[in-house]
């Protein structure tokens, strides 16, 4: 009797967490780019979408999802590195608004190219054979692939935290978020760090896209939907912090999942209302620093 009430609830919580992990990978990149470079990358959703479609092609051509999972983020990160050098670099002397505007234009270009190449039909990526079926959880069972998404997200979150807190690169990035002129003054090649941070963030977005492939479906518009949610995550959690991106993703992922079940007509409003409420109490988000 209890199990009948409990098992749908557990499944929904797990679904919410799986979605949270996809959002976290997007939001972590968005947040690090903002923390370091002070602008919002509105093309982030487009890179997520590019990752998903490249993942589709790589899985079909190579017949192996795991290779796609490694190769696609690297390709997209390389693209991000090049775009940073060619398009964003000339704008550093100007205001951050110009960078936001540029990425907005870039989003149109990338998503329309994707539509050009892959068409507008809804596509889906086959699940890797190792992850089909369900995991028994005592009173209920859960799809294996979604379980993988949760575990992979948590592992990546831990890895990102370790990189940020325990390595030299992480120290440079934390220092850059705090005061980039000073980091430059200490003899660190800050423009190379910028390009790498942008490439890394964009690569994470692509990774999120590849992981989302067998879980959500691929269609035009998937970029905007996910971009808006991950922007909310970053704003709720606080810009420029990994911790904020993580807890923000959990809040938004669960709110989205439960909102769609209990108030299907107003799920989007629930999320925006939560965001507005958090911002009114904490204008810089849950873990954010003051932005001037």
Partner 1 sequence: MAILRDRELTDSAAVAPAAAGAAVGGAQTQSRASRRSTLVSGLTVLATLLVFPFVVPSVYLQNVITEVLIFGIFAMSLDLLIGYTGLVSFGHAAFFGVAAYTAAIVATRYSDNLLATLAAGVVAAGLLAVPTGGLAIRSSGIYFLMLTLAFSQIVYAAAWKWTWLTGGSNGLAGVPRPKFGGFDFSSPATFYYLVLVFFVATFLALRRLVSSPLGHSFIGVRENESRMQAIGYDVWRIKLASFVIAGLFGGLAGALFSYYNGFVSPHDVYWSVSGHVMIMVIIGGAGTLVGPVLGAAFFLIVQNVVSSQTDRWPLIMGLAFIFFVLAARRGIVGMYLDAVAVARAAARR
Residues engaged in binding partner 1 (CB under 8 A): 34, 39-40, 87, 90-91, 94-98, 100-102, 104-109, 111-113, 115-116, 224, 228, 231-232, 235, 239, 265-266, 268-269, 272-273, 275-276, 279-280, 283-284, 291
Nearer to partner 1 by C-beta: 15 or 111? 111
Residue 275 CB, nearest approach to partner 1 (Å): 6
Measured between alpha carbons, how far is 213 from 194 in angstroms, rounded to an integer?
A: 29
Minimum CB distance to partner 1 smaller for 195 or for 211: 195
- Rounded CA gap, 23 and 253, in Å? 7
Please list the alpha-helical segments (H only) found in the chain.
2-37, 44-62, 65-83, 96-118, 144-166, 168-178, 180-185, 190-212, 222-237, 242-262, 267-281
In whole angstroms, how large is the CA radius of gyration of the chain? 19
Helix axes 96-118, 222-237, angle to 10 degrees: 150
CB of 32 to partner 1, least distance (A): 15
Minimum CB distance to partner 1, residue 8 (Å) = 24
| Of 78 and 276, CB closest to partner 1 | 276
**Residue 101 Cβ vs partner 1, minimum distance, rounded to whole Å:** 5
- Smallest separation, CB 10 to partner 1 (Å): 28
DSSP 8-state assignment for residue 132: -
Between residues 10 and 279, which has the closer beta carbon with respect to partner 1? 279
> Alpha helices, DSSP H only, in 42-129?
44-62, 65-83, 96-118
Which lies closer to partner 1 via its Cβ, residue 4 or residue 292?
A: 292
């Amino acid at each position: 009797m209890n199990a009948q009430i409990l098992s749908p609830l557990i499944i929904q919580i797990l679904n919410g967490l799986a979605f949270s992990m996809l959002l976290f990978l997007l939001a972590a990149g968005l947040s690090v780019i903002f923390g370091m470079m002070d602008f919002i990358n509105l093309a982030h959703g487009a890179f997520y979408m590019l990752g998903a479609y490249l993942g589709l092609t790589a899985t079909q051509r190579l017949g192996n999802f795991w290779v796609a999972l490694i190769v696609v983020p690297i390709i997209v990160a390389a693209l991000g590195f090049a775009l940073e050098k060619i398009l964003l670099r000339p704008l550093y002397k100007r205001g951050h608004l110009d960078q936001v505007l540029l990425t907005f234009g870039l989003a149109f270009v990338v998503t329309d190219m994707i539509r050009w190449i892959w068409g507008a039909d809804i596509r889906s990526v086959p699940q890797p054979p190792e992850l089909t079926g369900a995991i028994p959880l005592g009173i209920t069972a859960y799809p294996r692939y979604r379980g993988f998404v949760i575990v992979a997200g948590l592992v990546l979150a831990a890895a990102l935290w370790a990189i940020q807190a325990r390595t030299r690169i992480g120290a440079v990035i934390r220092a850059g978020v705090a005061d980039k002129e000073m980091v430059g003054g200490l003899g660190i090649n800050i423009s190379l760090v910028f390009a790498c941070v942008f490439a890394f963030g964009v690569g994470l977005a692509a990774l999120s896209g590849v992981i989302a492939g067998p879980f959500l479906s691929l269609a035009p518009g998937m970029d905007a939907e996910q971009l808006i949610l991950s922007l909310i995550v970053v704003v709720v959690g606080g810009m420029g912090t990994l911790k904020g991106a993580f807890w923000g993703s959990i809040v938004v992922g669960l709110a989205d999942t439960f909102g769609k079940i209990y108030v299907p007509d107003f799920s989007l409003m629930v999320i925006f209302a939560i965001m507005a409420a958090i911002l009114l109490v904490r204008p810089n988000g849950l873990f954010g620093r003051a932005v001037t």
